[in-house]
């Protein structure tokens, strides 16, 4: 299914159901008593943050999460617990860091936001339209995938201007930067598209490489793609976009991130769970299995590694799981 499309916004509808099912707003840590007695002082509660999706690490090393169900981003501590949230736009999905700022896409209102973590403020919002989702940095600029418009947009962070729009086609979702090119996954047409800014920008499209292309990662001279529908992770030649290797990874592969050594971290929507793929040998080790259940492409399970620890977003479970990588 295509997310965030149709007669009503799919992701916020799911969040509404989650809110109804959650016991109160404290994530299950508060008391179930109806009211405090005269001798009991009221307990201040922090509003629950719902539906974490995208993860990113700021320049100071702090990990941030985009909470799609609460229209906010927030820093995380070492246990994955969120700190004070910063409100952004409607349904934030992805975050990236650039020059001391955090940049956030909000898919339902078509905006790209610049957030200063030091002052916890949104200093600028850029209207891109077209359902912005994935984003990355390349050569000092921001590159944003517009899912509905089927484009990759280049944005100058200095003034927020759109430098160029690249036609991707299909149903693009996420983007990864290599040494001299960008790679966009086309979920619907089972392909990867390479775009080289500064050289005419003509997209190069692969043949079908796998079904349900989600996240991409450029690692060790290869472009890796998570194939949710196929249950595989494929390695592509960065120039020809030909498939060099296919690795079976059960559990609906979704997010990718570099791990320690030659490892590639793979988040799985079913759980959500976490697998570690050794890119040197092709072996796969599932290091964590979640209990929330299958996500079925209603949103995403992202993954990020910091100092030998993986952060795994659990959208339906309203939490970020922290998994030590002691392999």
Q: What is the mean pLDDT of the chain?
A: 87
Rounded CA-CA distance 318/320 in Å is 7
Contacts of 51 (CB under 8 A, 6+ apart): 11, 14, 15, 18, 67, 68, 69, 70, 299, 315, 316, 318
The pLDDT confidence band at residue 34, using thresholds 50, 70 and 90, is very low
Summarised one tens digit per residue, pLDDT across range 72-98 is: 999 999 999 999 999 999 999 999 999
Q: How many CB atoms neighbour CB 39 within 10 A?
A: 5
What are the structure tokens assigned to 210, written together?
């796998």
Q: Which value, to the nearest 10 degrees, does the dihedral of the CA atoms of residues 188, 139, 219, 100 take? A: -100
Q: Is the pLDDT of residue 311 over 60?
A: yes
pTM for the complete prediction? 0.86
pLDDT digits (tens, 9 = 90+) for 197-243: 976 668 999 999 999 999 999 999 999 999 999 999 999 999 999 99
DSSP state of 47: P
8 A C-beta contact, residue 310 and residue 325 = yes
Residues paired with residue 25 on neighbouring β-strands, in sequence order: none
d(CA 180, CA 196): 7
How far is the C-alpha of 92 from the C-alpha of 105, rounded, in Å?
A: 6
């Amino acid at each position: 299914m295509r997310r965030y499309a149709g007669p009503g916004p799919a992701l916020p509808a799911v969040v509404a159901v989650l809110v109804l099912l959650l016991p109160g707003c404290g994530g299950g840590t508060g008391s179930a008593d109806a009211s405090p007695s005269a001798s009991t002082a009221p307990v201040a509660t922090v509003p629950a943050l719902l539906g974490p999706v995208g993860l990113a690490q700021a320049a100071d090393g702090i990990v941030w999460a985009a909470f799609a169900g609460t229209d906010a981003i927030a820093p995380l501590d070492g246990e994955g617990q969120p700190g004070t949230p910063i409100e952004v736009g409607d349904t934030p999905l992805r975050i990236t860091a650039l020059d001391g700022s955090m940049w956030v896409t909000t898919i339902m209102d078509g905006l790209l936001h610049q957030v200063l973590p030091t002052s916890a403020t949104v200093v600028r919002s850029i209207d891109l339209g077209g359902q912005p989702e994935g984003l990355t940095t390349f050569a000092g600029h921001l590159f944003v995938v517009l899912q509905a418009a089927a484009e990759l947009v280049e944005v100058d962070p200095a003034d927020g201007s759109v430098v160029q729009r690249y036609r991707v086609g299909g149903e693009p979702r996420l983007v990864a930067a290599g040494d001299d090119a960008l790679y966009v996954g086309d979920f619907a047409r089972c392909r990867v598209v390479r775009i080289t800014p500064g050289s005419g920008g003509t997209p190069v499209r692969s043949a079908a490489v796998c079904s349900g292309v989600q996240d991409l990662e450029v690692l060790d001279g290869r472009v890796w793609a998570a194939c949710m529908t196929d249950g595989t992770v494929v390695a592509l030649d960065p120039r020809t976009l030909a498939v060099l290797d296919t690795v079976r990874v059960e559990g609906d592969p979704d997010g990718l991130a570099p791990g320690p050594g030659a490892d590639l971290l793979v988040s799985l929507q079913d759980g959500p769970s976490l697998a570690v793929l050794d890119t040197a040998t092709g072996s796969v080790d599932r290091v964590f299995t979640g209990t929330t259940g299958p996500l079925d492409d209603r949103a995403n399970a992202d993954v990020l590694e910091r100092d030998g620890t993986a952060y795994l977003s659990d959208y339906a479970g309203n939490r970020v799981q922290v998994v030590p990588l002691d392999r």
